[in-house]
Amino acid sequence: MELLHSGKVRDVYADGDDLLLVASDRISVYDVVLPTPVPDKGRLLTALSVWWFEQLTEIVPNHVISTTDVPAEFAGRAIRCRRLEMVPVECVARGYLTGGGLKEYERTGAVSGVELPRGLVEASILPEPIFTPSTKAPIGEHDEPITYEEVVAKVGPETAERLRQITVDVYRRGAEIAADRGILVADTKIELGWTPDGTLVLADEVLTSDSSRFWPAESYQPGRPQFSYDKQYVRDWAAGSGWNKQAPAPEVPAEVVEATRARYVDVYEKLTGNRWQ
């Protein structure tokens, strides 16, 4: 095997004609990898992604070849997958207003060029899910919001419309399934790529605690921050730590690591109905 790329969380290896996507226990916030890993995080992300890929096959095909035909040292945290030409855009769908979308709305009344009603607040539900793409920044740099028109300029109108439709459809289906389990999906980011025959397929991870914001429906209340089953807890710690959001990042306290792992486990169990071993 040959290591092709080491990302913020995943390492990509070439293995013959296939790729091995290996999820580490690294965690990143503000596009910076923190020096403190979260135990079991890579296994949790892989297991949840695999579960979601199976739920979404009627909406979009995916890159998975096998979850078991992987080297023993990567068992449980690796996926054997097809090689793709990745789309040069981060595909994001939002159903609620929070995070960077809220900040942009407060400045401009819009998110990624999508005009929204006046008077929305933290965690407001949107009239309908919206496509809010962003750039794909190198490690250590920040993704920046872009408009749909900028996506069209990058990939052409036909592909841009397919990206928007698939992203919103994945969000809608994921939000529907999660709602049945008492979880609100505030937003999610997906990765898409082309197979050699030109098919757009879902890749990387999907609807995980690293790529989505998950909130408990029972305590949801707009106008304030929500309890999150995702890495928002680490973002909040980082924002209050005095760190300037530039590398190198500080070590994460043990209690923050433990609480973050507990949230990842909790949402995995709630969504899949499986007990985490």
Identify the segments of the chain with pLDDT beneath 70. Answer: 137-142
**How much is the pLDDT for 141?**
62
**How much is the pLDDT for 109?**
97
**How much is the pLDDT for 277?**
84
pTM of the predicted protein model = 0.94
Q: What is the pLDDT of residues 133-149, one digit of tens each?
A: 999 866 556 678 999 99
Largest CA distance in the chain: 54
Joined together, the tokens standing for residue 93 give 């769908």
**How much is the pLDDT for 136?**
83
Terminal C-alpha separation, the chain: 29
Cβ 179 vs Cβ 69: under 8 Å: no
HEC-encoded secondary structure of the chain? CEEEEECCCEEEEEECCEEEEEECCCCEECCEECCCCCCCHHHHHHHHHHHHHHHCCCCCCECEEECCCCCHHHCCCEEEECCCEECCCEEEEEEECCHHHHHHHHHHCEECCEECCCCCCCCCEEEEEEECCECCCCCCCCCCECCHHHHHHHHCHHHHHHHHHHHHHHHHHHHHHHHCCCEEEEEEEEEEEECCCCCEEEECCCCCCCCEEEEEHHHCCCCCCCCCCCCHHHHHHHHCCCCCCCCCCCCCCHHHHHHHHHHHHHHHHHHHCCCCC
Q: What CATH number is given for 85-219 in this structure?
A: 3.30.470.20
Apex 127 CA angle, 105 and 232, nearest 5: 55
